[in-house]
Structure 1
Amino acid sequence: MGRVHGRSVQTRPKHDIKKFEENNYEKGPPVTNSEVRKAINELASGKSPGADEIPIKLLKDADNEITTMTAVCNTIWDKGISPNRWKQSIHVLLP
Protein backbone atom coordinates (compact mmCIF):
# COMPACT_ATOMS: atom_id res chain seq x y z
CA MET A 1 0.00 0.00 0.00
CA GLY A 2 1.12 3.51 -0.75
CA ARG A 3 -0.33 6.97 -0.26
CA VAL A 4 -1.30 9.50 -2.94
CA HIS A 5 -2.88 12.82 -1.99
CA GLY A 6 -3.43 11.47 1.51
CA ARG A 7 -5.32 8.41 0.25
CA SER A 8 -4.24 4.80 0.53
CA VAL A 9 -3.72 3.24 -2.87
CA GLN A 10 -2.75 -0.24 -3.96
CA THR A 11 0.74 -0.25 -5.43
CA ARG A 12 1.65 -2.44 -8.35
CA PRO A 13 4.51 -4.90 -8.10
CA LYS A 14 7.65 -3.74 -9.86
CA HIS A 15 8.39 -5.60 -13.07
CA ASP A 16 11.82 -7.07 -13.54
CA ILE A 17 12.71 -5.44 -16.85
CA LYS A 18 16.34 -6.43 -16.31
CA LYS A 19 15.36 -10.09 -16.61
CA PHE A 20 13.86 -9.45 -20.06
CA GLU A 21 16.82 -7.39 -21.21
CA GLU A 22 19.27 -10.14 -20.24
CA ASN A 23 17.35 -12.74 -22.27
CA ASN A 24 16.83 -14.59 -19.00
CA TYR A 25 13.29 -15.71 -19.77
CA GLU A 26 11.57 -18.66 -21.34
CA LYS A 27 10.71 -18.05 -24.95
CA GLY A 28 7.31 -19.23 -26.00
CA PRO A 29 5.93 -19.69 -29.48
CA PRO A 30 6.08 -16.75 -31.89
CA VAL A 31 3.40 -14.07 -31.72
CA THR A 32 0.69 -14.64 -34.33
CA ASN A 33 -1.18 -12.18 -36.54
CA SER A 34 -4.41 -13.06 -34.75
CA GLU A 35 -2.86 -12.25 -31.34
CA VAL A 36 -1.70 -8.84 -32.58
CA ARG A 37 -5.09 -8.14 -34.17
CA LYS A 38 -6.86 -9.17 -30.93
CA ALA A 39 -4.59 -6.96 -28.79
CA ILE A 40 -5.22 -3.96 -31.05
CA ASN A 41 -8.97 -4.55 -31.11
CA GLU A 42 -9.01 -4.64 -27.30
CA LEU A 43 -7.51 -1.14 -27.06
CA ALA A 44 -10.03 1.41 -25.83
CA SER A 45 -11.19 3.71 -28.62
CA GLY A 46 -11.20 7.45 -28.10
CA LYS A 47 -8.17 7.51 -25.80
CA SER A 48 -5.23 9.84 -26.29
CA PRO A 49 -2.17 8.38 -28.00
CA GLY A 50 0.83 7.50 -25.88
CA ALA A 51 4.42 8.66 -26.23
CA ASP A 52 4.56 7.12 -29.72
CA GLU A 53 1.81 9.56 -30.79
CA ILE A 54 0.07 6.83 -32.81
CA PRO A 55 -3.71 7.20 -32.48
CA ILE A 56 -5.53 4.00 -31.54
CA LYS A 57 -7.91 4.52 -34.47
CA LEU A 58 -4.94 4.37 -36.84
CA LEU A 59 -3.83 1.04 -35.35
CA LYS A 60 -7.35 -0.34 -35.59
CA ASP A 61 -7.67 0.79 -39.22
CA ALA A 62 -4.26 -0.63 -40.24
CA ASP A 63 -5.43 -4.21 -40.73
CA ASN A 64 -3.21 -4.58 -43.81
CA GLU A 65 -0.16 -3.89 -41.60
CA ILE A 66 -0.82 -6.66 -39.07
CA THR A 67 1.88 -8.87 -40.62
CA THR A 68 4.46 -6.09 -40.26
CA MET A 69 3.44 -5.38 -36.66
CA THR A 70 3.62 -9.10 -35.88
CA ALA A 71 7.13 -9.28 -37.36
CA VAL A 72 8.21 -6.36 -35.16
CA CYS A 73 6.77 -8.07 -32.07
CA ASN A 74 8.56 -11.32 -32.89
CA THR A 75 11.88 -9.58 -33.53
CA ILE A 76 11.62 -7.85 -30.15
CA TRP A 77 10.67 -11.13 -28.48
CA ASP A 78 13.51 -13.08 -30.17
CA LYS A 79 16.19 -10.50 -29.37
CA GLY A 80 14.87 -9.73 -25.89
CA ILE A 81 15.17 -5.97 -26.33
CA SER A 82 12.72 -3.21 -27.08
CA PRO A 83 13.12 0.43 -28.09
CA ASN A 84 13.87 2.70 -25.13
CA ARG A 85 10.97 4.92 -26.15
CA TRP A 86 8.59 2.03 -25.44
CA LYS A 87 9.76 2.08 -21.83
CA GLN A 88 8.55 5.66 -21.36
CA SER A 89 5.11 6.66 -20.24
CA ILE A 90 3.13 9.79 -19.57
CA HIS A 91 1.49 10.12 -16.16
CA VAL A 92 -1.10 12.74 -15.36
CA LEU A 93 -2.06 12.99 -11.71
CA LEU A 94 -5.65 13.93 -11.10
CA PRO A 95 -6.63 15.67 -7.87
Structure 2
Amino acid sequence: MIFKRVGDGRPYPEHGLGSREWAKIPPRQVRLDQLVTTRDTLRLADLLTEDSTFYGDLFAHVVAWHDELYLEDGLHRAMRAALHQRPVLHARVLEVADR
Protein backbone atom coordinates (compact mmCIF):
# COMPACT_ATOMS: atom_id res chain seq x y z
CA MET A 1 0.00 0.00 0.00
CA ILE A 2 1.32 3.43 -0.92
CA PHE A 3 -0.66 5.61 1.52
CA LYS A 4 -2.01 5.02 5.00
CA ARG A 5 -5.49 5.72 3.69
CA VAL A 6 -7.14 7.26 0.62
CA GLY A 7 -9.54 9.96 1.67
CA ASP A 8 -11.95 12.25 -0.12
CA GLY A 9 -12.07 15.69 1.44
CA ARG A 10 -10.39 17.68 4.16
CA PRO A 11 -11.59 16.67 7.65
CA TYR A 12 -9.46 19.30 9.42
CA PRO A 13 -10.52 22.91 10.03
CA GLU A 14 -9.80 25.57 7.41
CA HIS A 15 -6.31 26.96 7.96
CA GLY A 16 -6.43 29.90 5.53
CA LEU A 17 -2.80 29.65 4.41
CA GLY A 18 -1.89 31.00 1.00
CA SER A 19 1.18 30.30 -1.12
CA ARG A 20 3.35 32.81 0.72
CA GLU A 21 2.54 31.39 4.15
CA TRP A 22 3.17 27.82 2.96
CA ALA A 23 6.53 28.91 1.55
CA LYS A 24 7.66 29.99 5.04
CA ILE A 25 7.30 26.42 6.39
CA PRO A 26 10.56 24.51 5.98
CA PRO A 27 10.20 21.20 4.12
CA ARG A 28 10.90 17.89 5.80
CA GLN A 29 10.69 14.25 4.83
CA VAL A 30 7.40 12.45 5.33
CA ARG A 31 6.84 8.74 4.79
CA LEU A 32 4.25 7.99 2.12
CA ASP A 33 2.73 5.22 4.23
CA GLN A 34 1.89 7.78 6.96
CA LEU A 35 -0.12 10.03 4.63
CA VAL A 36 -3.89 10.20 4.24
CA THR A 37 -4.89 11.73 0.91
CA THR A 38 -7.55 14.42 0.69
CA ARG A 39 -8.35 13.55 -2.92
CA ASP A 40 -9.13 10.19 -4.43
CA THR A 41 -8.43 11.14 -8.05
CA LEU A 42 -5.34 12.25 -9.92
CA ARG A 43 -5.06 13.88 -13.31
CA LEU A 44 -2.71 11.74 -15.38
CA ALA A 45 -1.30 14.84 -17.09
CA ASP A 46 -0.11 16.13 -13.69
CA LEU A 47 1.67 12.87 -13.00
CA LEU A 48 3.38 12.55 -16.36
CA THR A 49 4.43 16.12 -17.05
CA GLU A 50 8.19 16.72 -17.15
CA ASP A 51 8.09 19.77 -14.88
CA SER A 52 4.98 19.56 -12.75
CA THR A 53 6.25 22.24 -10.34
CA PHE A 54 6.40 25.07 -12.90
CA TYR A 55 3.31 26.84 -11.52
CA GLY A 56 3.42 25.69 -7.92
CA ASP A 57 5.45 24.92 -4.86
CA LEU A 58 8.35 22.50 -5.21
CA PHE A 59 7.14 20.67 -2.10
CA ALA A 60 3.90 18.92 -1.23
CA HIS A 61 1.63 20.45 1.43
CA VAL A 62 0.69 18.27 4.39
CA VAL A 63 -1.61 19.15 7.28
CA ALA A 64 -0.99 17.46 10.64
CA TRP A 65 -4.24 17.19 12.58
CA HIS A 66 -5.38 14.74 15.29
CA ASP A 67 -2.26 12.59 14.93
CA GLU A 68 -2.82 12.15 11.19
CA LEU A 69 -0.89 13.57 8.23
CA TYR A 70 -3.20 14.74 5.44
CA LEU A 71 -1.76 15.29 1.97
CA GLU A 72 -3.52 18.50 0.96
CA ASP A 73 -1.54 19.32 -2.17
CA GLY A 74 1.01 17.27 -4.09
CA LEU A 75 -0.72 13.98 -4.83
CA HIS A 76 1.08 13.82 -8.19
CA ARG A 77 4.44 14.31 -6.43
CA ALA A 78 3.63 11.55 -3.97
CA MET A 79 2.60 9.16 -6.73
CA ARG A 80 5.74 9.97 -8.70
CA ALA A 81 7.86 9.20 -5.62
CA ALA A 82 6.02 5.89 -5.20
CA LEU A 83 6.54 4.98 -8.86
CA HIS A 84 10.27 5.59 -8.37
CA GLN A 85 10.11 3.33 -5.28
CA ARG A 86 10.97 6.14 -2.89
CA PRO A 87 9.24 5.68 0.49
CA VAL A 88 9.48 9.37 1.46
CA LEU A 89 8.32 12.70 0.10
CA HIS A 90 9.65 16.17 0.89
CA ALA A 91 6.74 18.24 2.16
CA ARG A 92 5.86 21.35 4.10
CA VAL A 93 3.94 20.22 7.18
CA LEU A 94 1.47 22.54 8.88
CA GLU A 95 0.40 21.68 12.44
CA VAL A 96 -3.30 22.54 12.87
CA ALA A 97 -4.97 22.67 16.27
CA ASP A 98 -8.68 22.47 17.01
CA ARG A 99 -10.42 25.82 16.99
Q: Do Structure 1 and Structure 2 share a fold, with TM-score over 0.5?
A: no
TM-score by length of 1: 0.27
Greater C-alpha Rg = 1
In terms of fraction of residues, the more helix-rich structure is 1
Relative to its length, the structure with more strand (as a share) is 2
TM-score, structure 2 as length reference: 0.26
